[in-house]
Chains A and B, each alone.
Chain A
Amino acid sequence: MSYLFNTPEDQRAMLESIGVGSIDELFAQLVPDEARLHRELEIPPAMSELELTAQMQSLAAKNTACSSRPCFLGGGAYDHFIPAAVDALASRGEFFTSYTPYQPEVSQGNLTVTFEYQTFITRLTGMDVANASLYDGATAATEAALMCLEATGRRGRVVVAGSVHPEYRQTLQTYLACLGVELVTVGALDGTVSAAEVAAACNDQTACVLVQQPNFFGCLEDVEAIGMAAHEAGAMFVVSVDPISLGILKKPSEYGADIVTAEGQSLGNPLHYGGPYLGIIACKSEFVRRMPGRIAGQTVDRRGKRCWVLTLQTREQHIRREKATSNICTNQGLFALRATIYLSLLGPHGLRETAELCARKSHYARSLLSTGTRFSSAFAAPTFKEFVVRDNAGAVEQLLADAEQEGYFAGIALGRWYPELADCFLVCVTEKRTRAEIEGLASVLTSSPAGLTAELANHHA
């Protein structure tokens, strides 16, 4: 086998040094017979690299890659531009085959990256401290809520906007249910939540209010007013953001966020069918000791030389065990690295231009998809890179399937999460989409016969 070393010769010498006759005898001394498997595993036989390559290629060939056609899918996972240098640098073995920097003297590369990453995140969000990463956007938002329970000592309720990503809310629900904390969802009938309804949902046991900006529908929330409502109720204000949007939108610190979380996939990370992604979390300095996960800090070595090290570790599970701020150990370091390289390459102008292109192109797409009679914009609120389209013929599933036949990943049906939006779908337009693709999408969707009777279809044509 290609990854093993021991020749029969080696094995003989090693067994001799150990003082056993055979590997079988070694296992017999270690594993009680009643716990042994006395047959071979039922797993397909070994494959050479060539055979494995053929197998993986055949599996891959049964999939349609988003990169092979115009992709207008978003919903928390985005098809953004990834510069080649991100792949080239992040695939260096010194980065991706190392682990948590337990030995800082031989991990200064990873620690420098983590420190740079934390700096980028604090600068984009306006927060004071960021950690080294969490699993994804959903668990980041959830960990933020758990921080708020501790920080406020209020363990009764968490208030969440219905316009937060449905899977983030489901994750939050799963965790809070274990702790007996109530999750109250504020409806977003017009695509956004009202600050007055948020205020009404808060009681004196509410730990925090969680909103997403831009929200799951792409709409901008009135974050200033919601933040004020949260604080007036004595609750903390947690905002989940799209990091690309921070190239053009206000920093969450400017509208009162106490903790900011995000899905960092859009920062130079591939789609990979939903993971691994990058959970971003950053907070005001007063909450740093409740932060989950690893944090890198600057210090000096014995010779006074600047260096970096994992710090504030008394928050973590390997020291505090059941009293730790979180159970996280392995994080998403490789994707924090990719985000750091991505942001270094883009710089202030590149990130601004990316955000602006998303806004301009999706605005154009939104206007094309709300002019005719078939489609309308579901919500009036301003949107960033995603928007919700209502199909007045009410045939979303068929419409999207037809568009796929025509070579477009046109959008995401919303009915599975929002029954009242069963006639709606979410369209995402990133900087990668061209005018021709956008117009192609509009024409494919507008000319679709889905849901129309023959007569109506003729009328439309």
Chain B
Amino acid sequence: MRNTRALSPIFELSAPGRRGATLPASDVPYAALDDILPADARAHALPDLPEVAEPDVVRHYTCISQLNMSVDTHFYPLGSCTMKYNPKRNERLASLPGLLDLHPYQSETSHQGMLQLLFELQQMLAEIAGLHVVSLQPAAGAHGELAALMTAAAYFRDRGENRTKVLAPDSAHGTNPASAAVAGFDAVTVRSTPEGYVDLDDLKSKLDDQFAVFMITNPSTLGMFEKNIRPIADMVHAAGGLLYLDGANMNAILGISRPGDFGADMMHYNPHKTFSGPHGGGGPGAGPIAVREMLGPYLPAPLVAFDGVRYRLDYDRPKSIGRVRSFFGNVGVLVRAYCYIRTYGAKGLREVSENAVLNANYLLSKVKHIFPVPQGERCMHEFVATASKIKAERGVSAMDIAKRLLDYGFHAPTVYFPSTVKESMMMEPTETESKETLDAFANALFRITEESPDLLHEAPHSTGVSRPDEVKAARQPQTSWPKA
């Protein structure tokens, strides 16, 4: 049934003389090009692009889209990524011309509605966080981490303190230490216990006078709520440092627990996870950051301000770190987050987290008989199972299981992260899945354990392509189509 011609890269569909778009003729008085743009600045040849007709373009991209698994088509329990349903109404509403066709430099009087939306979003995100001031500027979670660490650096500098170290647990997402390095800090790793909690002794030993920020992910990447979060916050503050919350896992605690209340001084949200912004095949995201009052002056500018009558962009923030990007922020993602929060309201957001946690615990209760879950019997929105037993007994790896799941029509969990658990499979079902789906998924996992190792090593079998040769791809990188 596959249309193999349409699946070829667009370059193979090209034929000279075809085109997929026509432009109007120039309607302004003629001027010789040489009088507009000097000849020596101009290209000698036409741009080197394929020549294809519009129907070919439509068929090609439609057919290749069908090679993807997606939330719209499949269960996608990719841990840490919160692959929940992306509401269609948000797409329609974010595309209203009065929201979509706004230029970042048009006058404030001409976009009061957009500024109102963004102002209200700042307030709602502050309330959900239990923190005070919100910047919507960062473009993704990692960018939010970076902007917040820069904010912390400016805060310490302003206080005349020279603190150079940023701590993060070994189970932290790679962006945490990477953001610390980009922000000019030394990244230091803190050990976790086998249950996935912060090793308090190790943390204590690293809280010296060079210590600036402890980045904690709570709930953690193992899906555990840090039971010592208050004592940790107290230790961090007693050492003169700041507690940063990686908010990637906020989907577990909306309306249940607030980072500001448990001691975090700053945090980022991943609205493309928690607030249903579609992941777009890799992005876009957004990375709003919320901070305590005393850190507010250092946030990236502008923020949206309201004087009771008019909304405006507040650039008058002399202590601000400046900009971390151009223009206001990833507004398209923020508009969808606004739609999502308004759809659910306070009670609804709490139900989101309750059902996300219920679904994850239910799945855990079904999976633990098949694959051990080292952290125990309970989890928040996700959990990490291990394939190390089946690996030792039958040579079947987490990778084999992940690949075989694709044959059963399920996207794989996140595998081999966090690295603190061997042969890890991190499963995050989200609240937008049914019990039937979770049963079917657990059932597939069980059936896989009964299959022959040889079959599993060769999986997937039904996906059009089998496992790519990654070594070859890296050894002789071919990252673009060769020239004709």
Are A and B part of the same complex?
A: yes
Q: How far is the CA of A348 from the CA of B18 in the complex (A)?
A: 10
Query: Is A123 in contact with B64, judged by CB distance below 8 angstroms?
Result: no
| Distance of B347 from chain A, by nearest CB (Å) | 7
Indicate whether B155 reaches chain A with its CB closer than 8 angstroms. Answer: no
CA distance A101 to B69 in the complex (A): 9
How many chain B residues touch A (CB < 8 A): the figure is 200
**A residues in contact with B38, CB < 8 Å:** 220, 382
Which residue, of A129, A247, A326, has the highest number of chain B Cβ atoms within 10 A? A326
Asked whether, in the complex, the Cβ of B181 is within 8 Å of the Cβ of A174, the reply is: no
Q: Of A3, A29, A56, A178, which one neighbours B183 at CB under 8 angstroms?
A: A178
Nearest-neighbor residue (CB-CB) of A17 within chain B: B365
Q: Kindly list chain B residues whose C-beta atoms are within 8 Å of the C-beta of A2.
A: 87
Contact of A4 among B11, B99, B278, B355 (CB under 8 A): B355
Asked if B33 and A356 sit within 8 Å, CB to CB, the answer is yes
Contact A41 B346 (CB under 8 A): yes
Task: Return the contact of B358 from the options A14, A175, A382 (Cβ within 8 A).
Answer: A14
Instruction: Judge if A6 is at the interface, Cβ distance under 8 Å.
Output: yes
- Selected from A30, A139, A307, the residue in CB contact (under 8 A) with B139 is A139
Q: A246-B47, A350-B23 are in contact. Are A384 and B37 (CB under 8 A)?
A: yes
A35:B230 contact, CB within 8 angstroms: yes
State the majority secondary structure of interface residues on A. Answer: helix
With a 10 A CB-CB cut-off, give which of A31, A49, A128, A412 has the most chain B CB atoms.
A31
Within A1-20, the residues touching B (CB, 8 Å) are 1-6, 10-11, 13-15, 17-20
> Whole-angstrom distance from the CB of B52 to the nearest CB of chain A?
6
Q: Are B69 and A312 in contact (CB under 8 A)?
A: no
Task: Assess whether B134 is interfacial by the CB under 8 Å rule.
Answer: no
- B36 proximal to A (CB < 8 A): yes
Contact B341 A43 (CB under 8 A): yes
Question: Which chain B positions have C-beta within 8 A of A227?
Answer: none
Query: Which of A204-212, A315-323, A369-377 participates in binding chain B?
Result: A315-323
In the assembled complex, the Cα of A55 lies from the Cα of B342 at a distance in Å of 9
Q: Are B113 and A61 in contact (CB under 8 A)?
A: yes
- B101: A residues at CB distance < 8 A: 65-68, 270-271
CB distance from B230 to the nearest CB of A (A): 5
**Smallest CB-CB separation from A295: which chain B residue?**
B479
Closest CB in chain A relative to B18 CB, distance in Å:
7
> Are B31 and A363 in contact, CB atoms less than 8 angstroms apart?
yes
Confirm or deny: A135 has a beta carbon within 8 angstroms of a beta carbon on chain B: yes
Per the 8 Å Cβ criterion, residues 216-272 of A in contact with B are 220, 246-251, 263, 270-272
Contact of A63 among B42, B98, B333, B339 (CB under 8 A): B98
User: Chain B: which residue is nearest A58 at the CB level?
Assistant: B113
Stretch at the interface among B103-111, B203-211, B289-297, B385-393: B103-111
B414 within 8 Å of A (CB atoms): yes
Q: Which residue of A lies closest to B416 (CB)?
A: A318
Q: B307 at the A/B interface (Cβ < 8 Å)?
A: no
Which residue of chain B is the closest to A314 with respect to CB atoms? Answer: B474
Expressed in whole angstroms, the Cα–Cα distance for A67 and B102 within the complex equals: 8
Which of A70-78, A185-193, A388-396, A450-458 lies at the binding interface?
A70-78
Given contacts A167-B326, A351-B49, A1 and B473 within 8 Å (CB-CB): no
Contacts of A435 in B (CB 8 A): 27-28
Which A residue sits closest to B14, measured CB to CB? A347
Q: Is A423 an interface residue (CB 8 A)?
A: no
Instruction: Known A98-B281, A327-B142; judge A43-B103 contact (CB<8 A).
Output: no
Beta-carbon nearest neighbor of A92 in chain B: B65
Among B104-138, those with CB < 8 Å from A are: 104-107, 109-114, 116-117, 124, 127-128, 130
User: Contact between A99 and B465 (Cβ–Cβ < 8 Å)?
Assistant: no
Q: Is the CB of A272 within 8 A of B100?
A: yes
List chain A residues, Cβ under 8 A from B361: 14, 18, 20, 26
**Contacting residues, chain A, for B145 (C-beta < 8 A):** 327
**Given A32-B227, A118-B479, A298-B473, also A346-B20 (CB < 8 A):** yes
B310 to chain A, nearest CB (A): 11
Determine the chain A residues whose CB is within 8 A of the CB of B100 once the complex forms: 65, 270-272
Give B397-415 interface residues, CB cut-off 8 Å to A: 402-403, 406, 411-412, 414
B339 touches A52 (CB 8 A): yes
In the complex, A461 has a CB within 8 A of chain B = no
A360 with B344: in contact, given A136-B327, A352-B47 (CB under 8 Å)?
no
Q: Determine the chain B residues whose CB is within 8 A of the CB of A332 once the complex forms.
A: 139, 280, 282-284
List, in ascending order, chain A residues with CB within 8 A of B112's CB.
62-63
Considering the complex, give the chain A residue whose CB is closest to the CB of B477. Answer: A297
> Which of A17, A40, A56, A345 is in CB contact (< 8 Å) with B20?
A345
Q: How far is the CB of A155 from chain B (nearest CB, A)?
A: 11
B9 CB-CB contact with A under 8 Å: yes
Contacts of B284 in A (CB 8 A): 275-276, 330-335
Query: Is A438's CB within 8 Å of the partner chain B?
Result: yes
Q: Is the CB of A102 within 8 A of B414?
A: yes
Q: In the complex the two chains form, is A43's CB within 8 Å of B346's CB?
A: yes
A312–B474 contact, CB under 8 A? yes
Taking CB atoms, residues of chain A closer than 8 Å to B348 are 1, 46
- Residues in A whose Cβ lies below 8 Å from that of B414: 102
Q: Are A40 and B110 in contact (CB under 8 A)?
A: no
CB-CB contacts below 8 Å: B305-329 with A: 321-329
Q: Is the CB of A35 within 8 A of B474?
A: no
**B83 contacts the other chain (CB 8 A):** yes
Rounded to whole angstroms, the CA-CA distance of A336 and B280 in the bound complex is: 10
Could you tell me if B64 and A109 are in contact, using CB atoms closer than 8 angstroms?
yes
CB-based contact B326/A40 at 8 Å: no
Q: Are B103 and A66 in contact (CB under 8 A)?
A: yes
Q: How far is the CB of A383 from chain B (nearest CB, A)?
A: 9
Say yes or no for B81: interface residue by CB 8 A criterion.
yes
User: Per a CB cutoff under 8 Å, which of B43, B65, B350 touches A248?
Assistant: B43
- Does B478 make an interface contact (CB < 8 A)? yes
Q: A36-B256, A59-B114, A81-B23 are in contact. List 7 more A-B contacts (CB 8 A).
A: A40-B347, A46-B347, A109-B66, A271-B101, A317-B177, A326-B178, A345-B20
Minimum-distance CB pairs A-B, first 7? A274-B327, A60-B98, A333-B282, A93-B72, A62-B113, A334-B280, A274-B104
13 CB contacts below 8 A, A to B, read A1-B351, A26-B357, A52-B339, A94-B70, A102-B412, A109-B68, A123-B49, A135-B330, A302-B467, A329-B174, A333-B280, A341-B57, A350-B22
